[in-house]
Amino acid sequence: MTQHTNPWAEGWPYPFWIAHRGAGKLAPENTLAAFREGASRGFVMFECDATLSADGEAYLLHDATLERTTNGQGVAVEHPWSVLAQLDAGGWHSPIYTGEPLLRLATLAAWLQANGCTVNLEIKPGPGDAVRCGEVVANEAARLWLGAAVPPLLSSFEVDSLRAAQSAQPDLPRALLLDSWIDNGLALARDLGCVALVVNHTHLDAQRIAAIHAEGLKALTYTVNDSDRAQALSAAGLDGLITDRVDLFGAAAREQVR
């Protein structure tokens, strides 16, 4: 078997503690308010969802549709940015956040770099948009983080998105997301030129973390909100943990080496 070479294996630049969608549950997910909240709790790395408008603007949204986290309606990718930019993406969470807008990737990139933070950008395409989304998000990430000491880590469940990102910006680090353990997951990550595997924590244990490391990959997981589970995975050699509980793990995040 050909040894998979991970250019990031030595000097992995990303911290262990990663705040989910900005600040998980304490502020409206994927908005600048959420990132500010997470940073105030001691987090210096964040996970978020990058998608595209109909006219190709890269911005943050988790769902394919707008109803859950905005006052808009319908399939998000069918709307131009001029419409999406007018939506309220905070009022659904609590009144104090009413009027919080959807967050452009360019705005996030500027804020993260100004505050010395890093990010895992999950490429989250709308229906039928996997290739375009992977290519555009990768190109935007390369442009927005040009010259940065630590680039964004691109990840996706969508193989077509990761392959498009690989083709567009091969030097940006990538990770394959898995909601369950699959037998060909490691081989697929190698084929996509990934540097890490991000696995649902319910399907991760010490043996699988060791198997990931044996392939020269880093092992990350989502979404861990329990202290005992976090401690067990850390002891097993986990390299990064995505959590909603920025309140619970804030002290640990502050103590980690940046």
Count of C-beta atoms within a 10 Å radius of residue 81: 17
- What is the token pair recorded at 65? 């549709």
- Both structure tokens of 76: 């998000």
Nearest to 154 by CA among 172, 139, 136: 172
Inter-axis angle of helices 105-114 and 32-40, nearest 10: 20
Phi-psi region of 226 (alpha: psi -120 to 50; beta: other; left: phi over 0): beta
Residues belonging to the active site: 20, 62
Residue among 96, 101, 39, 73 at smallest CA distance from 246 = 39
Strand pairing category for 45-52 and 58-60: antiparallel
Question: What is the C-alpha separation between 150 and 209, in angstroms, rounded?
Answer: 24
